[in-house]
Structure 1
Amino acid sequence: MKFARALAVTAAIGSVAAMSTIPAHAATGYNRCPAGRFCAFTGPNGTGVIAIYTKSDRNLADRVGPRGMNNNIESAWNRYKWEFGLMNDANFAGKGVIYKSGAKGNVPKNLVNKASSVWFVRADQ
């Protein structure tokens, strides 16, 4: 009797564990960007690798912040309340594109895969 009860409990635990390993539907594309963040993507239309920012990153080629984004950004979504910019050169220099709060889309063709810094532009500065 004890063996049968233990076997039933083990079977029940096993079935619960099996159910909990079923993956939930993961967000795709732009929808991977959490609210209150600026997200940059290595592919067009929110595809590819995502990098999530809450502040500026002066040099995308250094070891600070998300890696692999230097000269490798094709689209972005600004879900933060202030503006963010993608700039061609480190230290927020060169040509760039500004994403106002709520803006998303592909980087302009002349700036695709050329961003080397992410600039947090506070509206109250």
Structure 2
Amino acid sequence: MTIKKIITLRGSLIAAALALLCSTFLALPANAQAFDDCPAGQLCLYSASGGAGTKRTFAVQDNGQRYDASWDNATLSAKNNTTYWACVYVDTDYGGLLQTIKPGNSDEYGNDSRFAGTISSHKLVPSRAHCFTGYERCPDNRVCTFTEPAGRGAMTVHIPATDPATRNYGNAYGAEVAPASVWNRTRRHLCFYPTEKFTGTWSDPATPATKYGAYVVLKGDSTTVPSPFARTFRSHELVNGTSECQ
């Protein structure tokens, strides 16, 4: 074989290899560039898997406690293009099941029936631990009650009124509030009661003869309410000392 023929053969082999390589790149899935349209500093939610479909973008300070009807329960994939952790929830007000997304990562929900088309709220937070609480929504100098543990779920902000009998500040409310957790962001201690009359006791199911009076949350404290008190509060008052609880 002449030198010329060897060079020609080698050139043919190189050309064939390049053609194969190029065909490999051309055969990549259509979603190889998925999520590339998500701007820096944004959380992007998509209505289809792989960063396809309709896109919604949210800045770090734009925490979505609920979406409008056109977007609620529409998310099938997400890209967190921020330096914060993203938390997505299946219920409004940071409630229900949740998923977390690391900074810079994407996530898929289409193959998980718990999250596919069920996401209804989100927030962006400094650390993953913040995804599991929602107390930060409570304004200063207010009592806030939440329908789920750890400050998650629907929040009620209580603006105190004066109880005519005790002259203490407090509120009465119905079962629709159903507190499972509470933050006492006031400068007074907080006494909860099982009736709307700022009175009553609880019984321990394990020992029915054991009675409990007011459930106390000290000033500045937040807590998930344990059994048998959880979801049974119907009134509360703010007092200077816990001995003032009824």
Q: TM-score, normalised on structure 1?
A: 0.66
Alignment correspondent of 1:9: none
Alpha-carbon deviation of 1:91?
1.1
Secondary structure of the corresponding residue to residue 228 of structure 2: helix
In structure 1, C-alpha distance between the alignment counterparts of 2:218 and 2:159, rounded to whole Å: 14
1:116 aligns with 2:234: yes
Q: Deviation at 1:89?
A: 1.0
CA contact (8 A) 1:30 1:46 kept: yes
Give the structure with higher Rg (CA). Answer: 2
Does residue 97 of the first structure (1) align with residue 215 of the second (2)?
A: yes
- Residue 92 of structure 1 deviates from its aligned partner by 0.8
Quote how far apart the aligned CAs of 1:30 are.
0.4
Q: Report what 1:18 is aligned to.
A: none
Instruction: Indicate the SS of the match to 2:236.
Output: strand
Q: Which residues of structure 2 form unaligned runs of 5+?
A: 1-56, 64-122, 124-132, 161-169, 202-213
Residue 79 of structure 1 deviates from its aligned partner by 0.8
1:50 is aligned to: 155
The runs of at least 4 consecutive aligned structure 1 residues that moved more than 6 Å come to none
CA drift of 1:52 comes to 1.0
Structure possessing the higher relative contact order (Cα contacts under 8 Å, 6 or more residues apart):
1
Q: Distance in 1 between matches of 2:143 and 2:240?
A: 13
**How far 1:115 sits from its partner (Å)?**
0.7
For residues 44 and 22 of structure 1, the distance between their equivalents in structure 2, rounded to whole angstroms, comes to 26
Q: How many angstroms does 1:50 deviate by?
A: 0.6
Return the structure number with greater helix share: 1
Matching residue's letter, 1:92: F
What's the counterpart of residue 36 of structure 1? 141
Amino acid paired to 1:74: A
**Corresponding residue SS for 1:109:** coil
Return the offset for 1:46: 0.3
Q: Secondary structure of 2:197's match?
A: helix
The amino acid that maps onto 2:186 is Y
Residue 31 of structure 1 aligns to a residue whose secondary structure is helix
TM-score normalised by structure 2 residue count: 0.35
Displacement of 1:94 after TM fit?
1.2
Choose which of 158, 172, 182 in structure 2 pairs with 1:76.
182
The percentage of aligned residue pairs carrying the same residue is 26
- Length, aligned pairs only: 96
Task: Measure the CA separation in 1 of the matches of 2:143 and 2:62.
Answer: 23
- Secondary structure at the counterpart of residue 156 of structure 2: strand
Q: Which runs of 5+ in 1 are unaligned?
A: 1-20, 62-66
Q: CA RMSD in A?
A: 2.3
Give, in angstroms, the shift of residue 22 of structure 1: 5.4
